[in-house]
Amino acid sequence: MKKLVIIPTYNEKENIESIISAVFALEDDFHILVVDDTSPDGTADLVRALQKDFPHYLHLSVRKVKDGLGKAYIHGFTWAIENQFDYIFEMDADFSHDPKDLPRLFEACKNADMAVGSRYSKGVNVVNWPMGRVLLSYFASKYVRFILGLPIHDTTAGFVCFSRKVLEEIGLNNVRLKGYGFQIEMKFRAFKKGFKIVEVPIIFTNRILGESKMNGGIIHEAVFGVLNLKWKSLINRL
């Protein structure tokens, strides 16, 4: 079974070499696709240099337009489907997601359709985040569960394993949310299609190097994007 880890990047030169090395240090046979949004700090050049060491397992796709996390992932998902990968993972470049948890997500996904690395399925497992951001994230997931009826504790999680059939059937071309709302929309679409979603408890650690991409616009899109998803769902049902 072919497994691909998609890592979207924008100005991640401090982390990219280490995260790639950490994934390839695992015993499992993972491929990596770095989707870089033309980082001005030279992230893509560092990946190209590493491709000499991992010519068959490290892949790079450089996008000309920086138009959101969701668009970067959809670009990667399309590439994964075209190249016949069986399991496709989302993972951040900054070590907020521990590469050692990838095999756990894979094992869980083999008995489901989608496995979510969850910060909130067993309490609150977040390290080094300011309390305000912890509360924002935690209650955002509560809000999404209430509005959309998603049976998932961590609805905004970005550490996920998909089986290929999920990505083939949920309608990637129709995904509209671009920021962290994209993570919610992907889970909601999978849920509405009847796919089995499981949560795998993880410990989320705030980045040490580089800068967070979180901003007010991303939060605004997520809040109102959820309401729009609910509205469209009701219209479709009627």
The answer on pLDDT for 213 being more than 60 is no
Q: Residue 210: pLDDT band by 50, 70, 90 thresholds?
A: low
Residue 219: pLDDT band (50, 70, 90) is low
Over range 175-190, report the average pLDDT: 90
Contacts of 37 (CB under 8 A, 6+ apart): 8, 9, 10, 62, 63, 65, 66, 72
**Domains assigned to the chain:** 3-237 (3.90.550.10)
Within its chain, how far is the Cα of 90 from the centroid?
4
**0.75 exceeded by the pTM?**
yes
Say whether pLDDT at 216 is over 60: no
Give the DSSP H or E segment for 101. Answer: none
| Integer Cα distance of 43 and 209 in angstroms | 14
214: pLDDT confidence band, cut at 50, 70 and 90? low
pLDDT class of 198 with cuts at 50, 70, 90: very high
DSSP 191-205: HHTT--EEEEE--EE
For the chain, give percent helix, strand, coil, nearest 5: 45, 15, 40
Place of tokens 């394993």: 161
Token pair of 64 as six digits: 């000309």
pLDDT of residue 225: 80
In this predicted structure, what is the pLDDT of residue 209?
76
Give dist(CA 18, CA 22) in Å, integer: 6
Distance CA 146, CA 206 (A): 27
pLDDT tens digits for range 3-42: 999 999 999 999 999 999 999 999 899 999 999 999 999 9
Task: Name beta bridge partners: 161.
Answer: 89, 115
pLDDT greater than 60 at residue 238: no
